[in-house]
Every structure is written in structure tokens, then in C-alpha cells.
Chains A and B, each alone.
Chain A
Amino acid sequence: MPDALPPRAPAPRALSDRAPSAPTGTRPALRLAIVWSLALAALVAVLLVDVRGPLELAMPRRATLVGGILVASFAHAVATVIFHTVTSNRILTPSIIGFDSMYTLMQTLTVFVFGGSAIAATDGLPKLLAQTALMVIAATALYTWLLDRSGGGVLTLLLVGVVIGLAFDSVSSFVQRILSPTDYDLLSLELFGRLSSVQPDHLPLALAVCGAVGAVVWMRRRRLDVVLLGRDGATALGVDHRRELIVALICVSVLVAFATALAGPMTFFGFLVATLAYRLAGSHKHAHVLPMAVGLGVLALAGAQLVMRHVFDAAGLVTVIIEVVGGIAFLALLLGRRRPK
């Protein structure tokens, strides 16, 4: 006869979040407030600085840009942080293990099969939805299959992910070589980060999807904290690690698919903001790290946009700059880790 299980403590509201988890001096809430004020200021600046001609003309275009910045920041930041958490690594990102490559391959194959003009003609909501659905199905199938094959080993999953990403890239570049120049032109329009030319009619859906995924992640934030302890540590505390991993990978694929479809691929952006967020959040809790990463992402994209547009007059280069800075930070972290303490 099994003994009765001890009951869970009822969760009282008081005392809940002001745990002594933050040692004196880190103050995660204050840090968040500072970063988000800066980020909001940058967003307002993107909206209002240097408007020439009537405001009604400039506003819709700029509002779309702000929307694009929000979606890209949210998607890349959240995707990267939860990916890092469930895979117990802070180097590899969803982009590095091939979520991006999958998108590139799908675009390339679509152009190859249906022709560039067909793609240009169906540039609308159905296409975005179809693309995203395909990405999610493909990613879920691939990664659950990989997880089962590798006996739950995250390391194997990551390694195979890197190899598959490379394979996708090779197939894409092979197919791109045999495309007609016109098709290739149309394709490269689809593939490169175009934060400045986000489709306004896709934005509401993208924001809604970000909100939905954000709600799912937010509800699991405390479980994600436990997942930081790794598979065994989380299991010992009663968290189903495999389920958290699969839920997180599905969320990641949705976010990456939407961000990529809307603003083009960005390999190192997520890595950059996540790494900075770990340093600046002043807490390990996802309740602090996630908003910090999103805020830093907004600040980075909006700041870069302001500088590039109004100082250098080269708005199209924003993502390139972010990628260069992110790439350098990535190298610095990789090489820095090798040095003995």
C-alpha cells in the first residue's frame, strides 16, 4: 500500500517573487527599467526623428519599421534564450544549428519549383502562414526524430543540427546556382534581412504569434529556470525535461520562422542580445533574463537604425552591422572561454 504523497504547498501570493534570490546590489527590476526606458526612447526616436513632409505620410511607414523591430527583437531574443536553456549551452543558437538554413532551403526550393514570378505574385498572408506552418512541422519532426534517435542526448542533437544546417546550406547554394538570373534576383530579395521593407499587412499576425508564443514561454518561466540545472537536475526536481525541450524547440521554430519570413535571417543577433542579457540581467531567472534580452534587442535594432539612417544615410545596412558586431562578440566569447582562468 503506497504511502500518501505529501501535498504541495498552496502558493501564497505574498512573498512570492521577492525571494532573496537577488543578492544585494544586483536589482534586476531596476536594470530592466533602465534598459526598457532606453529601448522605448529609441523606438520613439525611430518614429519621430527627422520627419520630412507631413507626419501622416511618414507615420505608417515608420510604424511598420517599429513593428518589424519589435517582432525581430522579440523572436530572436526569446528563441535564443530558451534554446540556450533547454540545450544547456550558451554558444550555439537556433540559427547556428540550422533553423535559418531550413528557411533558406525552403525559399530556394519554392523558387526553383514554382519559378520566381509565381513567388512574387503570391507575396501575402497565405504564403507567410504556409511557410511558417511548414517550418514548424519540419522542425518539430526533425528535432523530435533526432531526439529519439540520439537517446535524449542534447549534444548529439546539436552536432547533428549543425551538420544538417550545413547540408541545407549546400543544397540551397547548389540550387541557387542553377536558377535563372531573374529568379535568383527575386530569391535574394526574399532571403536578405529587410527590416526597412517589412510587409505592413504581415505585422498584426506576426505580433499576435509573438504574443501567443510569449504567453506560452512566460507560463513556463519557472520550469525553464529549473531546466537550467540540466536534464538530470531538472528531472530530480520533477520537471519533465523532454517535454520542456520539445515545447521550447517548437516555440523556437515558430519564432525563427516568423522573424525570418518577416525581416530576413539574422544569424548572430539573437546570440548577441542573449549573451548581453545574461551579463546585464543581474539574475538567472527567465522572468528577468527574457525581458532583458528583448529590451536589449529593441535597443540594438532601433539604435542601429537611427545611427545608420540619420548619421550615415545607409538604413539598409542595419542588419549587416548587427551581424558584424554579433559575429565579433561570438568569436570573442568562444576564444575567451578557451583561456584558462
Chain B
Amino acid sequence: MIAIEQVSKRYAEHVVLGPVSSEVPAGGITALVGPNGAGKSTLLSVIGRLLDPSAGSVRVMGHDVQATKSADLARIVSILRQENRLEARLTVRELVAFGRFPWSGGRLTFGDQQHIDRAIRFLHLEDLADRQLDALSGGQRQRAFVAMVLAQDTEVVLLDEPLASLDPKHAVAMMRELRAAADDLGRTIVIVLHDLNMAAAFADRILALKDGQICVEGTVDEVMQDAVLERVFDTPVRVHRIDDRPFAVFTP
């Protein structure tokens, strides 16, 4: 689904990523984890063609993201960055409607309206649909942006730390919704996560980066091991099993 080949990114002489190669299979949730500055966001941005790699290439569903027209790519890949500042005043519904731009060029059809309604319902934003974004809490805003990305109706969805600024309740709710998007809507979701246990609980696969290199990748059970995580984070970690699920605890 997503083929990453020898991708690297450097600023001047400073290499922030790569070269890395990997393959993300279709369907399910793949979590990108790793310490600060490991290159998670950089890799995600390169896949979503927001950043040009210094070398290497990324293919999504067979399309080279550098060579394919951006407007065409927007119908198979959507990406949401962490910071989403807006000068204009928009309602939730107006924001979600932007997700349909790649399909209808800004002139909404009846089908577009249905996609927008579905995305709003999917993230439980019905009551907020006509509220201005700047009158919402951080978590509600975050959900509105995720709804926009889902309305874009792409096979591949890339999300950069969508849980930042969410409390545990809303973080879990968001992950459940993404889980449902993967399971019920058949999306392939790649998500940068800070919280290792959130990744373990909701993702199918984990890809751990460290110093711009892929340190380890595999299923949740393969990655959630004491030795593996200690190598990724350079910190003593113990993985416990609670209710038959792995939990990483950083030992003081």
C-alpha cells in the first residue's frame, strides 16, 4: 500500500531522517513511535508529500507521491498535521466540507453533502456542526479536523499526533473512532503517536524510529518487548501484561 524506498531528508548537512525503507500493508492502523526528534513527523510528511525527500521515493498504491499530480493524490491520500492554525472564521461543517475539495473542486454536490454528514456523525460532531471553530475546545477542534480528513474519503489516512491536547477520555474516543474507520470503512491509517500504550492498545502494527532510522517494526506483540523498547528509547522499560494486553512502564 505504502512503499518507502531509501527515503532520507537532510537540512544542510544535518540528516534528520533515513535512509529508511519500509512497506506499510493495506488496511489497519500503523503507529509511528519513537523518541523526540526521531523523524516520525518528517517521515509522515514525506509520505503525504508535504515535504520533499532529499533522496529516495515513496509510492502510495503504486503512485510516486513526488511525480503524481497533487490534486490526483489528494483523492487517495489525506494528511493532517499537528498544528492547524486558521485565520478565517469557519464553522465545523464548513471545515469538514473542505475535505470534499479534491473530489468536487469546491462546488458541493449531493454526494458530497452525504460524505460531510457521515464524517460529522462519525466523530459525533452533530451538535457542534454549526458552531465556529474558535468557539470550540482543543479536543473538539481536533475532532473537526479529523472529520475533514475522513470526509476526504481516501484509502490512506495519515495523522500526526491527533491525540495531542486531548484528555484520556477524548483520546480513547478518538482512537476508537479511528479504529472503526480502519475496520468499518477499510481505511489504511498511519498515525504518529506519543503514547506507546495507546499505540499498543489500538494499532495493528508499530514502526519505531530512532535517530532518523527505523529501529524496529512489527506487530504490537513483536515490538512491545523489554529489550526492544529499551533499544528504541534508551531508557529502562518493563512490559507488563494486564488483561492480556501489553503495557510499557518506564522504570524510574
Contacts and interface: CB of A to CB of B under 8 A. Distances in A.
Interface of A: 1-3, 5-6, 8-9, 11-12, 15-17, 19-21, 23-24, 84, 88-90, 222-223, 225-226, 228-230, 232-233, 235-240, 278, 284
A90 B88 CA distance: 9
Nearest to B63: A2
A237 B98 contact: yes
Contacts, number: 119
Interface string B63-84: 1000001111111101111001
Contacts of B106: 222-223, 225-226
Contacts of B75: 5-6, 8, 238
Contacts of B72: 5, 238
Contact of B104 (A1, A3, A8, A230): A8
9 contacts: A3-B62, A8-B105, A15-B110, A21-B91, A24-B130, A230-B86, A236-B50, A238-B72, A239-B71
A281 to B, nearest CB: 10
B109 A6 contact: no
A21 B109 contact: no
B14 interface: no
Contacts of A15: 108-110, 113
A3 B61 CA distance: 6
Contact of A19 (B89, B99, B108): B108
A232 B81 contact: yes
A24 B113 CA distance: 17
Interface of B: 45, 48-50, 59, 61-63, 69-76, 78-81, 84-91, 93-94, 97-99, 101-113, 130, 152
B85 A230 contact: yes
Contacts of B97: 19, 21
Given A236-B48, A238-B70, A238-B71, A222 B63 contact: no
Given A19-B97, A232-B50, A11 B74 contact: no
Contacts of B111: 9
Given A5-B72, A11-B105, 20 more contacts: A5-B76, A6-B75, A8-B104, A11-B104, A11-B107, A11-B109, A19-B108, A20-B113, A21-B91, A222-B101, A226-B106, A230-B86, A232-B79, A233-B81, A233-B84, A236-B78, A237-B74, A237-B99, A238-B70, A278-B89
A308 B192 CA distance: 61
Contact of B49 (A84, A229, A235, A239): A235
Contact of B88 (A2, A11, A222, A228): A228
A237 B152 contact: yes
Contact of B50 (A1, A16, A226, A235): A235
Nearest to B103: A9
B102 A238 contact: yes
Contacts of A3: 61-63, 76
Contacts of B104: 8-9, 11
Given A21-B94, A237-B74, A239-B71, A229 B86 contact: yes
A20 B117 CA distance: 11
A223 B86 CA distance: 16
A17 B90 contact: no
Contacts of B61: 2-3
Contacts of A233: 81, 84, 98
A97 B81 CA distance: 29
Contact of B101 (A21, A226, A230): A226
A244 to B, nearest CB: 12
Contacts of B69: 238
A235 B78 CA distance: 10
Contact of B93 (A2, A5, A21, A226): A21
Nearest to B160: A232
A2 B87 contact: no
B107 A16 contact: yes
Nearest to B84: A233
Nearest to B87: A90
B113 A237 contact: no
A23 B87 contact: no
Contacts of B98: 225-226, 229, 233, 237
A241 to B, nearest CB: 9
A213 B74 CA distance: 28
A225 B104 CA distance: 14
A229 B99 CA distance: 11
